[in-house]
Amino acid sequence: MTGSLERVYRGAAAAGGPLLFLERTRRVALGEWVIVRMKGQADRRGQVIDAGEHATVVQLLDETVGLAPDRAEITLTGEVATTVVGQELLGRAFDGHGASADGLPAPIGEAVRTINGAAINPVRRARPLDFIETGVSAIDAMNTLVRGQKLPVFSGPGLPGLELAARIVEWSRAPRGEPFAVVFAAVGITARESREFVDRLRASGAMSRTVLYLNEAAHPAVERLLAPRLALTCAEFLAFERGIHVLVVIADMTHYCEALREIATAREEIPGRRGYPGYMYTDLASIYERAGIIRGRAGSITQIPILTMPDDDMTHPIPDLTGYITEGQIVLSRELHRRGISPPIDVLPSLSRLMSGGIGKGRTRAEHREWSDQLYATYARGREARTMAAIVGASGLPPADQRALKFADAFEENFIAQPGGRRTIDETFAAGWSLLAQLPRDDLLRISDATWQAHAALSTAPSAVAVPP
């Protein structure tokens, strides 16, 4: 940006919703940071979203109740939005625009960075291949998470999406025990939800390795557009300049999208599907794509965004556009939740697209792919049989379908559900094999003879499975 000088204007032409309209400004820049002052009121912050010689539009991040455009004093700061980053942010809490929220003084930090980030040059990316053991069987076995992946949780109203994220944060083990950190952005969630999440971090001792950015439900709505970007800017510094493996959790992207829609409506833009703006895909990509690994740099960013599917509808634009950008999704099921299966992960619509690179010999186990395919296939058949049984009765099903149905029940209760807490990858394999072992060989066509024989040899060797190495 050129001419980065502060300019002060008295009075704006108009205000409406979260927008402020200025006339005849000099040398405004797109994205320029703006401060709006009014006597007797707290300063408001904003960003230029349309820079013009004659008319400029500022998007305000704070509430506009009481804002009188003609009496406001508007400062164009000559800079785009920035934030302080550094290792000393670990253990700290900030609000949704990066001000200290834990009573401690503002950090000095190691650097100041613009919050919009820049695209990682695709030729400089390294391929994500390192298996993260989350301790959640439904993920480790069938939707494996790897370092540098963006894997969202598709939750529904009242479903424990954030709780699953908390569990992953608590339970995850780095592949080789390297340093790792958590950056959490609360975006429009309730103070209770955010407190519960933070309490769990604290209880698990992870707080000293965590940075919090908290924009809660009571905080300004437009600020929701900022919080994830602050979190990712902080994460990028820790990952790519300090060599730390960072797990970024953002909850809830649904609130983010609603803030985006609010701005679009205020600007009287032509709405896209269900009123969300046509550029929402591009906008969401500017957040989700800030995950990955860079060649020659030690750290990584793994992203777990949480979103709430309105009406549990996966075709709603928010989950839909997210799914089009992320590398898979973990889908929660209301039915499993109702039946007390925890975590209530429905593995059928769930997917990890980076799984193939992270599993197999030398990473998890040689047979991981076929074993996981078999669990999936048999469970899918069992679920289909369950639907069928509702019509014709379980006894009307062919014997193989009856077996699959029994398998599906056991799979949900003894594999998906984890009342006993965290499972190591070996325990997950043991649990999966013990379910498969109850089926005749002919039901297990995905398992090769070699794997079958190797497994049979293993399981007859005393306690080889019960006590994993």
Partner 1 sequence: MSDETPRIRRVAGSLVEVSPLRAALYELALVGDQKMLGEVIRQRGDLATLQVYEETTGLCVGEPVEVMGATLTAQLGPGLLGSVLDGIGRPLERVAEATGDFIAPGARADTLAADARWHFTATRSAGERVSGGDVLGTIEERPGMLHRVLVPPLVSGLLATLTSGEFTVTDPIGALADGTPLFLSHRWPVRTARPVLERLGSSRPFVTGQRVFDLFFPVAEGGNAIVPGGFGTGKTIIEQSLAKFAEADIVVYVGCGERGNEMTDVLTEFPALVDPRTGRPVMDRAVLIVNTSNMPVAAREASIYLGITVAEYFRDQGNRVALMIDSTSRWAEALREMAARLQEMPGEEGYPTYLANRLGQFFERSGRSKLLGSPAREGAVTIIGAISPPGGDFSEPVTQAALRVAGAMWALDAQLAHQRHYPAVDWETSFSLYAEQVAPWFTEHGGACWTALRQELMALLQKERELRDIASLVGPDALEDHDHLVIEAAAIVREVVLRQNAYHPHDAISSPQKTHALAAAALELLHKGEAQLSAGSPFSSIDLVPARRALMAMRDGETP
Ligand X SMILES: Nc1ncnc2c1ncn2[C@@H]1O[C@H](COP(=O)(O)OP(=O)(O)OP(=O)(O)O)[C@@H](O)[C@H]1O
Q: Return the structure tokens found at 281.
A: 């895909």
Cα first-last separation, the chain: 58
For the segment 368-407, give every residue that binds partner 1 (CB under 8 A). 369, 373, 376-377, 380, 388, 391-392, 396-398
Give residues 351-370 in contact with partner 1 (rule: CB under 8 A): 351, 353-354, 356, 369
281 binds, among ligand X, partner 1, none (CB under 5 to 8 A by kind): partner 1
CB 229 within 8 A of CB 305: no
Question: Least distance in Å: CB of 324 to ligand X?
Answer: 5
Q: Which of 27, 37, 363, 422 contacts partner 1 by CB under 8 A?
A: 27
Partner from partner 1, ligand X, none binding residue 118, C-beta < 5-8 Å depending on class: partner 1
- For residue 318, count other CB atoms closer than 10 A to its CB: 27
Task: In angstroms, give the least distance from the CB of 314 to ligand X.
Answer: 13
Tokens of 280: 């929402």
Piece of 184-192, 282-290, 299-307, 456-464 that binds partner 1 (CB under 8 A): 282-290
- Candidate list 65, 99, 108, 118; residue touching partner 1; CB under 8 A: 118
Q: Which does 292 bind (CB under 5 to 8 A by kind): ligand X, partner 1, none?
A: partner 1
Strands 180-189 and 210-216, how do they pair? Answer: parallel
Q: Which of 8, 13, 46 is nearest to 26 (CA)?
A: 8
17, 91, 160, 272: residue in contact with partner 1 (rule CB under 8 A): 272
DSSP single-letter state for residue 246: E
409 binds partner 1 (CB under 8 A): no
Question: Is there binding between residue 442 and partner 1 (CB under 8 A)?
Answer: yes
- Contact mark string toward partner 1, 131..170, x via CB under 8 A: -----------------xx---------------------
Is there binding between residue 324 and ligand X (CB under 6 A)? Answer: yes
Chosen from partner 1, ligand X, none, partner binding at 119 (C-beta under 5 to 8 Å by type):
partner 1
| Cα maximum dimension of the chain | 83
Residue 252, preceding bond cis, omega within 30 degrees? yes
Least distance to ligand X, CB of residue 353, Å: 3
Closer to ligand X by Cβ: residue 27 or 353: 353
Other Cβ atoms less than 10 A from the Cβ of 66: the count is 10
Q: Which two tokens stand for residue 21?
A: 């309209």
Q: What part of residues 333-352 is at the interface with ligand X (CB under 6 A)?
A: 351
Which of ligand X, partner 1, none does 285 bind, CB closer than 5 to 8 A by kind?
Answer: partner 1
Figure out which of the listed residues 100, 208, 282, 438 binds partner 1, where binding follows CB under 8 A.
282
- How many residues bind partner 1 (CB under 8 A)? The answer is 81
Q: Which of 322, 185, 188 is nearest to 255 (CA)?
A: 188
For ligand X, the binding residue among 27, 195, 334, 353 (CB under 6 A) is 353
H or E segment and range at residue 37: strand 32-37
From CA 353, how far away is CA 369, in angstroms rounded? Answer: 13
Contact 11, 37 (CB under 8 A): no
Q: Is 128 in the site for partner 1 (CB under 8 A)?
A: yes
**Other CB atoms within 10 Å distance of the CB of residue 202:** 12
In the numeric block, which tokens belong to residue 37?
Answer: 């002052």
**Between 31 and 70, how does the x/- string for binding to partner 1 read (CB under 8 A)?**
x-----------------xxxxxx----------------
In which residue are the tokens 């800079």 written? Answer: 79
Q: Which residue matches tokens 């009765």?
A: 393
Contacted entry of ligand X, partner 1, none for residue 103, CB cut-off 5 to 8 Å set by kind: none
Answer yes or no: are the C-beta atoms of 328 and 354 closer than 8 Å. Answer: yes
Apex 177 CA angle, 171 and 179, nearest 5? 95
Site for partner 1 in 299-318 (CB under 8 A): 315-317
Q: What SS3 class is residue 16?
A: strand
322 and 254 in contact (C-beta within 8 Å)? no
**Identity of the residue, 16 or 324, whose beta carbon is nearer to ligand X in the bound complex:** 324
Answer with the entry of ligand X, partner 1, none that 126 interacts with (C-beta below 5 to 8 A by kind): partner 1
Considering the complex, state which of residue 351 and residue 389 has its C-beta at the smaller distance from ligand X.
351
- Binding mask 209-248 toward partner 1 (x if CB under 8 A, else -) reads -------------------------------x--------
CA distance 19 to 326: 31
